[in-house]
Structure 1
Amino acid sequence: MTDARFEDGAERPLRLVALAPDDLPVISALVQDAVFTAADLRWSRKGRRVDVLLNRFRWEDRAAAERAGRPYERVRAVLTVQDVTGLAAQGVVPGDKDTVLSVLALEFTPGADGTGVLVVVLAGDGALRMEVECVNLMLSDVTRPYRAPSGKAPHHPEG
């Protein structure tokens, strides 16, 4: 058995699950530079679930696009976090459909007995802070890839 590679995804939609803190770096890397608005965020307190509809840059396709000389792509994806017992936001106005938020990373701080805090770090000092009973996330592509509107890959200068 070998580890999965980005190339293994080809043109199929991603559907990844994280059930342990060690699973989070892969999903964090794939949602880096994803954009959404607060109107794309849903929290079901009763269902203990947070869903975020993202426009995700297809990092897994970047090298292939460069080799083939074709445009970079984005895809609509849903990031679902289960077993959420609390949600707090910084720099996010609930329901705001005009402000574009950009994901930098997912970070997890463990608590007692598998609980912890999952933070969706956003550009511009924003964040979504979720208290969770356990790590239980899913990232699912829900549309076909489309040409990235900027035509460019996101770039992060080293500081």
Structure 2
Amino acid sequence: MTDLKLLALDTEDLEVISAHVQDAVLRVSDMGYARGDRRFALLMNRFDWESGKSRRDKGVRKRTALHFDAVQSVVTNGFDPAAPEGVLELLAITFKSIDGPAGIVELSFAGGGTVRLGVECLEARLSDLGAAWAAAAKPAHSLD
């Protein structure tokens, strides 16, 4: 199993990262903003969709780090950022350009929670950290 190392500098690159982290789970305490470094980072347990291609295979989860640089602001909504043991399920990451390279990165979570990052430009890096284990279940979504 190959560890992922991805860089996103535009919306197409970010769509690739978003696809790889769909259904990742994380604790609220595993994400944070380093204002001095202008970096927002999170650690998650992502479902490796490439490993769970067959219907009977439950696949694996991998410990993964993702960070965004050139972050100017962070706004959370729909969950309590002061509840460190809270668990979130990441559904998608999108970018909306506002003024040239600047824009808003939005992390959307199950249940309607969001994290919006005001960024000078889009720069995201994803890295698997090597740890992998059998998933308890393969994520499934209702089509309703």
TM normalised by structure 2 equals 0.93
* 1:157 match: 142
* 2:71 match: 84
**How many residues are aligned here?**
144
Instruction: Select 1:104's aligned residue among 91, 95, 105.
Output: 91
Where does the alignment leave 5 or more consecutive residues of structure 1 unmatched?
1-10
* 2:111 match: 124
1:16 lines up with 2:6 in the alignment:
yes
The CA distance in 2 between the partners of 1:62 and 1:70, in whole Å, is 5
Shift of 1:134: 0.8
CA contact (8 A) 1:13 1:144 kept: no
Cα RMSD for the two superposed structures: 1.5
The CA distance in 1 between the partners of 2:82 and 2:126, in whole Å, is 22
Q: Indicate the percent of aligned positions where both proteins have the same amino acid.
A: 35
* 1:3 match: none
Which of structures 1 and 2 has the bigger CA Rg? 1
CA contact (8 A) 1:73 1:147 kept: yes
CA contact (8 A) 2:58 2:138 kept: no
Which structure features the higher share of helix residues?
A: 1
1:38 lines up with 2:28 in the alignment:
yes
The CA distance in 1 between the partners of 2:143 and 2:58, in whole Å, is 24
* 1:6 match: none
Where does the alignment leave 5 or more consecutive residues of structure 2 unmatched?
none
